[in-house]
Structure 1
C-alpha cells in the first residue's frame, strides 16, 4: 500500500522545515513510532544509530513521537527529550496520534519501512529488529539502485545549536562522605562531583563521549565502607545505555566494569549468573537493601540483585510482564522501575510507567499510590485516590514518610504511611528525576530538564486536586466470546526460526481486569491463541508478551536473534466487533 502522508503538529531537527513523503522520495525511510517515557523506545534509538551511520546516504530515519502521558504532548518537553537522548534524525510531533492511527500502530515502539517509491513494505513492533532491518534495507537498496529509483545523498537532518550549561539533563545524585554531591550528568555521559551547594564543579569522571566509558549513566550508590574496602571501589554506577554496572574509586578516579556483558537482555537465565557475563537491560537506579545491591532493571520491568563481593547477579522481583500486580516476590508485575530508596525495613520503588509508588517489605510487593499503566494525573488526598505522572525518583525520610520526584507533573510529592495521604511539597519544577536527603537533613532535587540541582525550601504542604488523565490510545474493538489472537511474525531476510534448543516462539497472555478473559490466559509456544472474552466486561487491557527466536541460514557461524514485544492492548467489547485480533511482531510485504 502507499504510505500515508507525514502530517504532524510540527517538526524537530529539520531547520524548521515540514517534511513530506515527496521530500523523501528516492530514500529508504524508517519510521520509528516512539514516546520518550518508554524504555523500549530508547532501546530502539540505540539499535538505529549504527544503521543510520552505515546507510546514511540511502536511508532516512524519521521519529514519529506519539505520546502516552499528558506531559509528553508538550512540544517543549519533546524538544528537550530529543536532545536528552541524542536523537540525530528528524522527528515529527504526532501529538494527536494521527500518524499512529494511519499506520495502524498498536505498541511502543513500532517501526515502519517505506521503500524509495513511497510504498509501505514492512512493519515491526518491539525491539531486537536491528539485524533483520539491516538485511531488509540492504535488499531494498540493491533492488532500487538497480531500478534507478534510489537517490543517494545528504538527508534532511539539521542539528540544533549546542547548549552550554554546567550539567546537561542530570539523572541521579548522591551525597559523598565529604558533603560533596556526585551527579550522573546523563546527556554528557559522565559523572560530575559538585560542591555541597550543588553549583560548583569539583571534578568530572568519564570522557564525556557516548560510551567512553559511560553511556547516559543514571543511578549511583555509595557502598557501605566495609564492602567498598573489600571490592576496591566506593561508588556503584548504573551505566544505563551500556547495560552495565561500573565501580568508581573516589580517591584514584579509577572506573572498573563490574557487571554486564554490554549486550541487552533478550531471554531469561535460571539462577544466579556471573555478573560480567550477564546481559542486563537499562539499569536505572541502585539501592543497598537486605545486604545486597538492588538494581532497578527498567528495561525488563524487574528488580535484580547484585553481590559485589561474589560478583554474581540474579532476579529479585518481577517476571518481565509490564503491568501492576502485588504479592510475594518474585512473581509480581512492575512497569519500568526507575527510582529506589530504603527506609527502615522497606525498599521504596518509583514504578514510572504505572505512575506508582510501591514498596517491598518481608518479601512482599505492595502499592501505596498508583492505579495502572494508563491512569495518571496530579491528585492529592487518600492514597487509593491519589495520582502521579511518571515518577522517576523516591527518597525515604527519617520520619517514615516518602518523597517522590513526580517527574511529569513537575512536582515533589509526599506520601505519609501513617495517614495514608498524599500531598504536594513543591511544584513548578522542570522534570525532577531524583531527590537527595543529606546528612544535615537538607532536601536537594535533581531538576533534570532545568539542568541543575535545586535545594527544596521549607514551605507549606498543599493539597492539589488536578486533572485525572487516562492514556487515550485508540482501542481495538473485539467481539465477546471466541476471539482468535494471532501474532504475526515473518523471519528477516536470511533468517529462519531457530528450533535447535526447543520451541522458537513463546506467547504469554493475561488481562486487566483478569475477569476480562474467560479462557486463553497463560503461556504457550504457539503465536496464535484461542481466547474467550467475557461479554459482561465492557472494556479492559489485553497484556500480550510474544517472542520469536531466529538464526542465520547458509552461514558457517550462524548468529542467533531474539525478537520480543510486550503489548498492552486496550480493547472494547462490542457485538459488532471482529472475532480476530492480529498483532504484528514482524510483518513484511513479500510482493
Structure 2
C-alpha cells in the first residue's frame, strides 16, 4: 500500500506504508479532534492502493513521526520558492466579478487560491477562516475560489452562482469544470488552498480544515518580507446579486401534525410555520446569523436545516452553528441543548457513551426516547437522549467512506437526512449518493442503494443498479422511502418490497427536503426558493404562494 500524505502546510511526501502502520491506516480519518476525513479519492489497480486524503497537520505528522521520527518543526520555507504559479485561465467562466483574471493581474499582492466543490462539508467549514483572512488583509490579500466540481451537477455555472449566494462568498470564483487548474497545481483533495507570493511564486499548499491557523503565519511572513513592495490598492469585484424572495434556500420541511408545516428557511436563518396554502403563521428567529437564545423574536440561527417535533418542543439542527436547539412552542423561547459552537470530531473507539459535540448537524428524526442526528460534518449518526438531555455517538467511525458493518465500524459520507421505517433507521448518505439502513436489532449498517464516493448518476431500476446524485432528504411513508435526489433535481421512491427505484417528480432545482402528508408530497425545492406540493394520486404539481 502507498499512502500520499501532505504534511504540515507546505510539502508532500510519498512513502510506502510500513507493515506496522497498515493496521493504523484502517483508522485514518482520525485520532485527533480537528482532523478531517479519509477518503477523498482512491484507486485500486489490483496491486497497490493509492489513497488521497482530506487531512490536517496533526494526524499526518503523527503517522510520519511513527515511521521516521520528527522534531515537530514547521516544514514551511519562505526562502525556497522556485515554482511559478500556473495561470488560472478557464473557458468555463468567472463569477462574483465582471472580468477574467490572471495570476499576473495580482502582482504585488498575496494570493490565496481556494480549491473547493460546493457540496463538500469540509469546504463549507473553511469559509469562516477565509472570511477572517479577508477581513484581516482587505488590500494585501486576494482570495480566488477555484470551483472544481466533483458531481456533474456541480459543474454548471448557474448552480455555482447559487452556492456563492447561499454561502455569502465575497471573492471571485473561477469555474474549473474540467479540473484544468486543479491539475496544474497538483491538487488532490477538497478543500485545498494554495498560497502565492506577490511575485507570482507558489509558497505552498494546505489541504483540509483549519486554514486560518495554517496559512496566516505565512501571510505575516510575506508581509514582513515584502514590506512597502506590497500593492495595497483596493480591488473591487462585481458580486453576484439575487432577487428578494420570501423563502431563501429552504432546507427541510416537516408536518406540525395539525395540517400546518414547519420549514427551515435556511438562507434567512429562521424557522417558519405555514398553512397548507403557504401563508406564514409563525416565525422563529430574528433573521440574524448568530446563536442567541431567548424569545422567538430575538433568537438567532445560522443556516438551520433538519427539524423534529416532540410534543410542544421543536428540535432544530442549527447547522452553521454546530448546535442542536429546541424551540418551546408554548413558552415561545429557544434554547441550546447540545453543542458549544465548536466542530466536534470523534474517531474509532473515542468517546462512545459520553456526551459529544455536533458537527454540521443536518437531519433530525425523533422517536419517543431519542432524537437521531445525521451529523454531516463528522460523517456519523448521533443520538440525543431526551431523558438525559445529552448527545452521544450512535453509528459511524468518523471516516468518510462507504463501509458497512457494526455501528462502531461502519462509515458514512456526509449524512444529511434520516428517517425510520419498520423499526430501522434510513439515512441519505449524501457524498456517496447512497441510502443506508441501520438495523436497530443487529446494530449493523448496510447499503441498499449506492456504490461509493465517486459512483453516481441518474438511473432508476433495481436497488443494485440504481444510481443517485448527492441525495440529501429522505422520508418514510407507507412502506416506501421518498428521497430528495438533490443533484438530479428529482424526488424518487424506493419501493422496499420490489427493491426498485423510480422517479416520482422531476424538473426541480436541487431539492433538499421531502415529506409525505395528507396525500401529497411536500418538497423544499431549495435553489428555487420554493415549497412544491405534488398530489400522490394525480401527480399534479403546485408551487405554494409563500406569503407573510
Asked if TM exceeds 0.5, the reply is yes
Matched, 1:415 2:497: no
- Determine the structure 2 residue equivalent to 1:39: 121
1:284-323 → structure 2 map (5 Å cutoff): 284-289=362-367, 291-323=369-401
1:567-578 → structure 2 map (5 Å cutoff): none
Kindly indicate whether the alpha-carbon contact (under 8 Å) linking 2:372 and 2:384 is maintained by their aligned counterparts in 1. Answer: yes
- Determine the structure 1 residue equivalent to 2:183: 101
Residue segments in structure 2 that go unaligned for 5+ positions in a row: 1-82, 292-299, 540-548
1:357 corresponds to which of 410, 427, 435: 435
1:402 corresponds to which of 463, 477, 481: 481
**How much does 1:369 deviate?**
0.7
Deviations 1:1-40 (A, max 9, x none): 11111112111111x2111112222221111100011111
Kindly indicate whether the alpha-carbon contact (under 8 Å) linking 1:90 and 1:156 is maintained by their aligned counterparts in 2. Answer: no
Matched, 1:193 2:276: no
Residue segments in structure 1 that go unaligned for 5+ positions in a row: 229-233, 462-591
Question: CA–CA distance in 2 between the matches of 1:114 and 1:382?
Answer: 49
Count of matched residue positions in the alignment of Structure 1 and Structure 2? 444
**How much does 1:459 deviate?**
6.0
Secondary structure of the residue aligned to 1:50 is: helix
- Determine the structure 1 residue equivalent to 2:73: none
Deviations 1:254-273 (A, max 9, x none): 11111101111245542334
Against the structure 1 CA distance between its residues 290 and 329, is the aligned structure 2 distance closer, same or farther, given a 3 Å change threshold? farther
2:318 corresponds to which of 232, 239, 255: 239
Against the structure 1 CA distance between its residues 395 and 102, is the aligned structure 2 distance closer, same or farther, given a 3 Å change threshold? same
1:385 corresponds to which of 457, 465, 469: 465
Against the structure 1 CA distance between its residues 253 and 162, is the aligned structure 2 distance closer, same or farther, given a 3 Å change threshold? farther
2:238 corresponds to which of 142, 152, 158: 158
Kindly indicate whether the alpha-carbon contact (under 8 Å) linking 1:288 and 1:342 is maintained by their aligned counterparts in 2. Answer: no
1:425-444 → structure 2 map (5 Å cutoff): 425-438=504-517, 440-444=518-522
Deviations 1:186-241 (A, max 9, x none): 111111222222x2222322121222421111111112x2xx5xxxxx11111111
2:96 corresponds to which of 4, 7, 13: 13
Question: CA–CA distance in 2 between the matches of 1:251 and 1:135?
Answer: 50
**How much does 1:289 deviate?**
4.2
**How much does 1:175 deviate?**
1.3
Against the structure 1 CA distance between its residues 308 and 54, is the aligned structure 2 distance closer, same or farther, given a 3 Å change threshold? farther
- Determine the structure 2 residue equivalent to 1:272: 353
Against the structure 1 CA distance between its residues 458 and 292, is the aligned structure 2 distance closer, same or farther, given a 3 Å change threshold? closer
Secondary structure of the residue aligned to 1:428 is: coil
Against the structure 1 CA distance between its residues 87 and 339, is the aligned structure 2 distance closer, same or farther, given a 3 Å change threshold? same
Kindly indicate whether the alpha-carbon contact (under 8 Å) linking 2:346 and 2:378 is maintained by their aligned counterparts in 1. Answer: no
Question: CA–CA distance in 2 between the matches of 1:431 and 1:6?
Answer: 29
Deviations 1:388-437 (A, max 9, x none): 00000011012x11111100000111111111111111111111111112
Question: CA–CA distance in 2 between the matches of 1:58 and 1:383?
Answer: 53
Kindly indicate whether the alpha-carbon contact (under 8 Å) linking 1:180 and 1:194 is maintained by their aligned counterparts in 2. Answer: yes
- Determine the structure 2 residue equivalent to 1:68: 150
Q: How well do the aligned residues superpose, as a CA RMSD in angstroms?
A: 1.6
Secondary structure of the residue aligned to 2:431 is: helix
Question: CA–CA distance in 1 between the matches of 2:130 and 2:259?
Answer: 41
- Determine the structure 2 residue equivalent to 1:217: 304
Task: Pick which of 90-99 and 148-157 moved more.
Answer: 148-157
Kindly indicate whether the alpha-carbon contact (under 8 Å) linking 1:289 and 1:347 is maintained by their aligned counterparts in 2. Answer: no
Question: CA–CA distance in 2 between the matches of 1:265 and 1:296?
Answer: 13
Kindly indicate whether the alpha-carbon contact (under 8 Å) linking 2:253 and 2:522 is maintained by their aligned counterparts in 1. Answer: no
**How much does 1:344 deviate?**
2.3
Question: CA–CA distance in 1 between the matches of 2:236 and 2:111?
Answer: 12
Secondary structure of the residue aligned to 2:315 is: strand
Question: CA–CA distance in 2 between the matches of 1:53 and 1:309?
Answer: 43
1:449 corresponds to which of 497, 508, 527: 527
Question: CA–CA distance in 2 between the matches of 1:184 and 1:154?
Answer: 38
Question: CA–CA distance in 2 between the matches of 1:171 and 1:359?
Answer: 23
Deviations 1:115-143 (A, max 9, x none): 11111102001112321212221221222
**How much does 1:359 deviate?**
1.2
Question: CA–CA distance in 2 between the matches of 1:155 and 1:459?
Answer: 56
Q: Would you tell me which structure has more strand in proportion to its own residues?
A: 1
Secondary structure of the residue aligned to 2:344 is: coil
Deviations 1:516-571 (A, max 9, x none): xxxxxxxxxxxxxxxxxxxxxxxxxxxxxxxxxxxxxxxxxxxxxxxxxxxxxxxx
**How much does 1:149 deviate?**
2.1
**How much does 1:41 deviate?**
0.7
Deviations 1:252-303 (A, max 9, x none): 43111111011112455423344xxx43211011112473111111011111
Question: CA–CA distance in 2 between the matches of 1:141 and 1:104?
Answer: 26
1:334-373 → structure 2 map (5 Å cutoff): 334-361=412-439, 362=441, 363-373=443-453
Kindly indicate whether the alpha-carbon contact (under 8 Å) linking 1:298 and 1:337 is maintained by their aligned counterparts in 2. Answer: yes
Secondary structure of the residue aligned to 2:536 is: coil
Against the structure 1 CA distance between its residues 200 and 349, is the aligned structure 2 distance closer, same or farther, given a 3 Å change threshold? same
1:435-584 → structure 2 map (5 Å cutoff): 435-438=514-517, 440-458=518-536
